Amino acid sequence: MKPLNREQMAWRVARDIPDGAYVNLGIGMPELVANHLARDDQGDREIVFHCENGILGMGPLPKPGDEDFDLITAGKKPATVIPGAAFFDSATSFAMIRGGHIDIAVLGAFQVAENGDLANWSTGGNAVPAVGGAMDLAAGAAKSFVICEHVTKAGEPKLVEKCTYPLTGLGAVTTVFSDLAVIDVTPGGFVAREVIEGLAFEDLRKKTGARLTLRNDWRVLKAPALG
């Protein structure tokens, strides 16, 4: 059993984004999703990526040597744009988010509770001083996808009964894309619909700190060799 790497996780998220969606990509691993829209069997899809620092129409991350540091993401990483992209100030960007114009926010997480609560900005102690735009995204987007490792480096579950870290949003998360599985948040708790090849469901359940059931029509999650 080999967990998915970061590129494979981003590839799997990209497969669940429908045609015509306006999608915000959060800082860090979510930014990789823009690289993987062509790596699927679903044909051409018109998807518009939004970046909270003022880009609508963000493209894939640039290749090494092609960076333009006057064009960056909210995480201060070099970005690209597609033809027809628009640039605007933060007030306009957050008006899009708060006005309900973002279909999906792709976010990282420290913890996700079984009711969909999200904690992704602070673990206490010497953490960053503020939540930034994640709270607006969790509340304003129609759906929130979380991309994260299933457990911490210490082996503690990130999917839990109740978040113990400061919350970003209440009931915000709809689906978790981890390095071990694709898990939907439902009124009855976490439900796995895909599990990586070679991992028994019982072992996945042991790595999950909350109720976890398996869909009757679940599938084995196989990703191409990436990264």
Active site residues: 52
Strand partners, 78: 72
d(CA 145, CA 76): 22
d(CA 94, CA 101): 10
Give 161-165 contacts, CB < 8 A, sequence gap 24+: 161/113, 161/114, 161/209, 161/210, 161/211, 162/113, 162/114, 162/117, 163/111, 163/112, 163/113, 163/117, 163/118, 163/119, 164/111, 164/119, 165/110, 165/111, 165/119, 165/122, 165/123, 165/124
DSSP 207: T
Length of the chain: 227
d(CA 152, CA 159): 10
CA 165, 170, 172, 173 torsion: positive or negative? positive
- Residue identified by tokens 């010497």 is 126
d(CA 86, CA 148): 29
- Asked if 1 and 181 count as a contact pair (C-beta separation under 8 A), the reply is no
